[in-house]
Structure 1
Amino acid sequence: MLPSERHAIILREISKQPAVSIRSLTEVLGVTRETVRKDIDQLSSENKLHKVRGGATRIRNQEPEIETRAATNPEGKSRIAQFVLSQIPDGASLIIDNGSTTLAVARLLRYHRQNLTVYTNDLSISSLLGPVSKEITVLGGRLNVAENATFGIETIEHLSRYRAEFSLIAAGGLSARALLTDFSREAADLRHRMIAQAEQSFILADHSKFGVVGKIVMRPLPDGALVVVDEKPDPETIDAMGRVGMDYQLA
């Protein structure tokens, strides 16, 4: 079988499921593990898949809808939310991003904190935190109905008027290959602004985001920003994070 034929089969297999193992591919292709590893290396260099320990994952072009994300790994997101809650006192000022994990944090804040000042582009989060906020600002801009949140240059310009003690940022993906990634330029740009406008930023990445490579690479995080995870990332990702001074916290 020619390499091009094996590559086509590997891409076909990974189109059926988010990840494939080297072991399963050796069975499908009838070749050695070393051959499969070389094929994965080649396809990874061509940006057709993401190489991970023991196999490969699909490169996503878009993020699942918010309802799907909210139903994925709720226990891990709850642990992350509990940690973030422990860092935020009553009366804090917060910039809160749109996302399923930030929504989990907002649900806890609603019942355990008071007198918050909140800036958010997420309409669901603004409704949740309205009763416990002394002031809440919904950032203007173009409404993404599927996300129930605003995005665009107007949203970034509106946010640039404010400063906050904390920002809570959703992560599209976390991988050794690309570190933090996102799925749209406008979401990535807004998140960078959210980080820049806060004294302390928490980037929330449950383990369903591990190995995921979005099409937009996030810029380096400033000192003090912390990636909060529910499980320890793989050694390659930890090494890659360490090389750029990116810190993580296990919730």
Structure 2
Amino acid sequence: MLAAERHAIILERLDQKPTVSIRALTEQLGVSRETVRKDIELLAQHNKLEKIRGGATKIRTSELPITSRSKLNIQGKSLIAQYLASQIPNGASLFLDNGSSVLALAKALTHHSGLIVYTNDLKVAEVIAQATVELVIIGGKVDVTEMAVQGVEALESVARYRADFAVVSAGGLSPSAFLTDFSREASSMRHLMLSQAQHPIMLADSEKFGVVGHVVFKAPPKPTRIVTDIAPDDEIRRAISQRGYRLDIASEA
């Protein structure tokens, strides 16, 4: 079988299922593990897939709608939310972006008082209003699929403020691509929020492990903490450490 034929089969498998193991490909293609590894490495170099431990994962160009994401890993997101809520004091100011993990945090903060919140997420704003003295909804164009404000006007609005904390979501967290997203506008918003805060925090629940979005997230400022619900595998942990970021695991706190 020619290399081009093997590559086509590998990519077809990833269209059917987001991850595939070297063992499964070896059996299907009838070639050695070393040949499959080389095929995966070559496809990864051409941004056709993401190499992971023991196999490969598909590079995604879109993610599930917020209504669907909110139903995934509810326990893990709640664990992250409770962990962070215990660290955010009454009277703090914070940026909250859009995403199901951030929405879980907003719910966990409803017993706080005196918060000053800047958010581009309309659902987050509705929830967090119970705990705020001041609520600023970032202005601009609304992405109705996410119920979030994005775009140039929104970025200009965020740039006017500073906050104690910024809590934003990652689209994906993988060893080589590291932090990725599914929208350039959302990625720019998240990076700016992190840059405008004294304590920047990125959330990546275990559903995001090994996920690779098609937008590479610009390196967050170095004080950024990456918070997960459970421990990621050793490769992801090394990627976080080598890039100089701190990993907080809510289930081990």
Q: Would the TM-score normalized by the shorter structure come out above 0.5?
A: yes
Q: CA deviation at 1:64?
A: 1.6
Which stretches in structure 2 are left out of the alignment for 5+ residues? none
Deviations 1:51-82 (A, max 9, x none): 11111111001122111211111111111111
Counterpart residue number, 2:161: 162
After TM superposition, the structure 1 stretch with the greater mean CA deviation from structure 2, 158-167 or 213-222, is 213-222
Kept in 1, the 8 Å contact 2:50–2:177? The answer is no
Superposition map of 1:4-43 within 5 A: 4-43=4-43
Once residues 247 and 218 of structure 1 are traced to their aligned partners in structure 2, the CA distance between those partners, rounded to angstroms, is: 17
For residues 195 and 10 of structure 2, the distance between their equivalents in structure 1, rounded to whole angstroms, comes to 41
Contact 2:138 2:157 (C-alpha < 8 Å) held by counterparts? yes
CA distance in 2, matches of 1:41, 1:70: 34
Q: What SS class does the counterpart of residue 11 from structure 1 fall into?
A: helix
Using the TM superposition, name which of 212-221 and 172-181 deviates more.
212-221
User: What are the Cα deviations for residues 167-204 of structure 1, in whole angstroms up to 9, with x where unaligned?
Assistant: 11110111111211111211111111101111101100
* Letter in structure 1 aligned against 2:46: E
* Distance in 2 between residues matched to 1:202 and 1:243, nearest whole Å: 18
Amino acid at match of 1:19: T
Pairwise mapping of residues 1-251 of structure 1 onto structure 2 (< 5 A)? 1-110=1-110, 112-251=111-250
C-alpha distance in structure 2 between counterparts of 1:223 and 1:38, whole Å: 34
Equivalent residues of 1:221, 1:246 under 8 A apart:
no
- Residue 137 of structure 1: how far off its partner (Å): 0.6
Q: Distance in 2 between matches of 1:158 and 1:39?
A: 46
In structure 2, C-alpha distance between the alignment counterparts of 1:161 and 1:34, rounded to whole Å: 53
Aligned AA (1:250): I
SS in 1 for 2:139: coil
SS of corresponding position for 1:249: strand
- The answer to whether the 8 A contact 2:195-2:220 is kept is no
Whole-Å Cα distance in 2 between the matches of residues 21 and 37 of structure 1?
10
| Counterpart-to-counterpart distance in 1, 2:222 and 2:18 | 33
**Contact (CA 8 Å) 1:97, 1:122: kept in 2 or not?**
yes
Q: Is the 8 A contact 2:85 2:109 kept in 1?
A: yes
Superposed displacement of residue 7, structure 1: 0.7
- The aligned amino acid for 2:127 is L
Per the normalisation by structure 1, the TM-score is 0.96
The answer as to whether partners of 1:174 and 1:210 remain within 8 angstroms in 2 is yes
Shift of 1:233: 2.0
TM-score by length of 2: 0.95
Q: What per-residue deviation string (whole Å, max 9, x for no partner) do you get for residues 179-234 of structure 1?
A: 11111211111111101111101100011111112222222222321000112222
* Aligned-partner SS, 2:168: strand
Q: Deviations over 1:12-52 (max 9, x none)?
A: 11100111111211222122222211211111111111111
What SS does the aligned partner of 2:164 have? strand
Identity percentage of aligned residues: 50
